[in-house]
Amino acid sequence: MDGDERIAALHAAVDALALAHPSDGGDAVGLVIALEQQIGRLTAIAAQAVAVVETAHLWDGDGARSVMAWLASVSGLSYPRAKARVELGRAMRDDLPHSREAALLGTVPIERVETLARLATTTDARRAALSGPASACGEPFLLAEAQVLPADSFRRLTQRWAAAADPEADERGYREAAAREFVTLSATTGGVHLAGFLTTEHGASVQTALEAVIGPPAPGDARTSAQRRAQGLADLSRLVLDHGLLGAGSAVRPHLTVVVDVETLRRAIDGRPHAEDPPGEAGLGPAARHPSPGALPDLSVGPAPPDSERFAVGEVLGTGPVPASVLARLACDSEMTRVVFGARSQVIDVGRAERTFTGARRRAVIARDQHCQFPGCSVPPALGEVHHVDHWARGGGTDVNAGILLCWHHHDHVHRAGIEIDRSAGRWRFSAPPDLSTARAA
């Protein structure tokens, strides 16, 4: 039977399978098992044939740049899949003769042979170790394990085998990976784009920390895993800064400098839009007023820009304006410093920095609430803030009865959703605006 006849026979066999539907569940089970075995054998046959195409340079007549590009073009495979197929063919041809025979016969899953090709043939020392007998843990030893171990277990065994066969290769790989580590934070439209690469060690450390901080989702938390990891990364940064883990002076909340005038802050806390301000006091453009010494409570403000650049917004220095809900949340549990400017932006007065909730009051709130008090949430105090039920900027106090412990996620949610909180009969009650939801009891 020549090549054309073999190809025709292959098409006929596949057509027969495609057109014949299993008559019952038993037929389907047997068909799945047989097909998976034959798919593995066909993959091995294809990889072996690709190795012949490469050796004979039969791929370069079509103008392809490489045998991988040629295979991707004629087969419809993605380039990474085509590259893996070519590398499998090379490994079976040059370094894995026993595995090649087993794959062609279907006595070992093709995935195990792909694992050997990817992990066990990467250096001269490992290829030399493969040529040893089973007693020396060569290819026959690995092939015997491939026939009995599950896929993940065999992958871990091969990784350990490769590390023992050429430990210096792993050292080189780690040094190269460490040299490629990077993290970038790039300001972009509406936020900051995060990109990076970490070594396996550092990646595992970050992943473990994120999983510990994220914890299980609270009931009703509809965020995706990716969204919860983003929140977890921000929570990790807050943990380091809030608890002074970098030394004295680091535990300053919320670790941002915000420039804002008192009326804008009060507007944000009250949830009032500019349109509700009295005429001429909306604060847009030159109409924005510099606060006078008697108009400010203990409030965090920074250097005032010129009148012509004043727009009644809160602005994080070095970053840009923040929404009113974010401004209100930042003001809830922060260290406040009053800075008063004159008409020409000269500093007139600088007050003493004071926390909106002192250490003693914070400890009392934590002792009473013990965890985030949002319905269904049990996040511990280390991952949260004290929210002002009756904010100081509205005339409320900062005693423990005016503070409730909320995790960072739900604190942000309460401000964004405009949820009101009150305490009745020793329990917290959460009431959303009528157009959002009905009242919820903690």
Q: 319 or 91: whose pLDDT is higher?
A: 91
CA atoms of 277 and 287, how far apart (whole Å): 13
- The predicted structure's pLDDT at residue 331: 72
- Residue 92 in this model has a pLDDT that exceeds 70: yes
CA atoms of 60 and 384, how far apart (whole Å): 62
- The predicted structure's pLDDT at residue 261: 72
- Please write the tens of the pLDDT for every residue from 283-299: 333 323 333 332 222 33
- Residue 258 in this model has a pLDDT that exceeds 90: no
Q: 253 or 221: whose pLDDT is higher?
A: 221
Q: Give the CB-side neighbour count of residue 404, counting CA atoms within 13 A.
A: 23
Q: 308 pLDDT band (50/70/90 cuts)?
A: very low
Q: 306 or 326: whose pLDDT is higher?
A: 326
- Residue 431 in this model has a pLDDT that exceeds 80: yes
- The predicted structure's pLDDT at residue 299: 35
- The predicted structure's pLDDT at residue 93: 95
Phi-psi region of 244 (alpha: psi -120 to 50; beta: other; left: phi over 0): left
Which of 17-31, 42-56, 312-326: highest mean pLDDT? 42-56
Q: 38 pLDDT band (50/70/90 cuts)?
A: very high
Share of the chain above pLDDT 70, in %: 72
> Can you tell me the mean pLDDT for 185-197?
89
Mean per-residue pLDDT over the chain, rounded: 77
Is residue 389 a contact partner of residue 396, using CB atoms and an 8 Å limit?
A: yes
CA atoms of 326 and 323, how far apart (whole Å): 5
Three-state secondary-structure class, residue 259: strand
Q: 194 pLDDT band (50/70/90 cuts)?
A: very high
Least confident range of 85-94, 205-214, 265-274:
265-274
Give Cα 350 distance to the centre of its chain: 41
Q: 102 or 22: whose pLDDT is higher?
A: 102
> Can you tell me the mean pLDDT for 326-355?
62
Q: Is the pTM of this model over 0.75?
A: no
> Can you tell me the mean pLDDT for 322-349?
65
- Residue 74 in this model has a pLDDT that exceeds 60: yes
Farthest CA pair distance, the chain: 100
- Dig out the tokens for 419 from the structure: 């949820």
